[in-house]
Amino acid sequence: MEGSGNQYVEADQRYRDVENPGNGWVYKASRGGTQSNSTRLSTFYLQDGSFFRCTNISVGYTFSNVKNWSKGVISNLRVYVAADNLFTISKYKGYNPEVDYNDGANLTPGVDYGKYPLVRAYNMGLQLTF
C-alpha cells in the first residue's frame, strides 16, 4: 500500500484516521521511504502458496479405418485439442502462486513483486500420415 501499484481489496479496510479506523488488521498506507510498511518484517504479508494447477491437457482421437475411405493415400489420421495453463486452484491472492522473484535470486526466494500471470493457450490440430 505504497501507492505505486494495484492493491488487494483488503487495502480498503486499512486505517485512515480516528473516524475511519478500518478493521484493525490492515496497515496504514504509506509511501515508500526509509521505513515504509512493505519493508517491515511481518507475518501480515505471508500467504498460503499451495496450489493445484493443470499445466497441459490434450485430448485426441485416432481414426482406425482411414485407409478404407482415403483410398490408401492417408495411413493415419488424428485430431486433437489441447490447453496450456487451463486452471489454477489456490487461495493465493496474487497472479501466480509459484512466485520466483528475480529469477531465483538467493536473497528473495518466494517473494512476489507482481510477477505476471501465466499465459493460457488453446490449440487444436490435425495429424496426417501419408
- How many structural domains are present in the chain? 2
Distance between CA atoms of 21 and 14, rounded to whole angstroms?
A: 7
Helices and strands per DSSP (H, E), number in the chain: 1, 3
83 shares its domain with 56: yes
pTM of this prediction?
0.66
68 shares its domain with 28: no
34 shares its domain with 70: no
Residue found by looking up cell 493457450 in the block: 121
Domain extent at residue 52? 47-130
59 shares its domain with 2: no
53 shares its domain with 113: yes
92, 49, 26, 39: CA torsion to nearest 10: -130
Q: Give me the pLDDT at residue 124, please.
A: 97
24 shares its domain with 51: no
Q: Sign (positive/negative) of CA torsion 90, 118, 29, 20? A: negative
- The average confidence (pLDDT) of the chain is 79
36 shares its domain with 71: no
Per-residue confidence at 104, pLDDT binned at 50, 70, 90? low
Quick check: 23 and 6 in contact, CB under 8 A?
Answer: no
22 shares its domain with 1: yes
114 shares its domain with 91: yes
Report pLDDT digits (tens) over 25-68.
777 776 655 555 556 667 777 888 899 999 999 999 998 877 66
